[in-house]
Amino acid sequence: MTEEDEDRADALFHALADRTRRDIMRRVLAGEHSVSTLAARYEMSFAAVQKHVAVLERAGLLTKRRSGREQLASGDVEAVRSVAGMLTELEQVWRGRIARVDELIASDTDEED
């Protein structure tokens, strides 16, 4: 369960830790694009771009649908939000720390009275 969540988090952050893949995400969030249309935008080989798309797909950041001989990729905004949610969770941990510090300050002030 939690182990699976961690696997998923690993895959999501890893998928986003590459500028080509982040750029692909921008394109497929803006609209559907075939793999070859995407590949045409980068200087690397078609196969390299196809692999990047596969990494994003495995992480759940995009989905593909077939249309004739093309494979149209579309970004999944929900997956992006789930990553944002993980960061929010981290921020909550930080808020807890601040709350505790505030408590400490409050009790110090009490002693000073």
Residues that bind its own copies (CB under 8 A): 6, 9-10, 13-14, 16-19, 22, 25-26, 29-31, 75, 77, 80-81, 83-84, 86-88, 90-91, 93-94, 96-97, 100
Least distance CB 63 / DNA (angstroms): 11
SS3 68: coil
Least distance CB 13 / its own copies (angstroms): 4
Establish if 90 lies at the interface with DNA (CB under 7 A): no
Q: What distances in angstroms separate CA 17 from CA 12, 20, 56, 108, 112, one per listed residue?
A: 9, 9, 11, 44, 50
Contact 62, 53 (CB under 8 A): yes
Establish if 107 lies at the interface with DNA (CB under 7 A): no
Least distance CB 26 / its own copies (angstroms): 5
Instruction: Report the sign of the C-alpha dihedral through residues 90, 91, 92, 97, in that order.
Output: positive
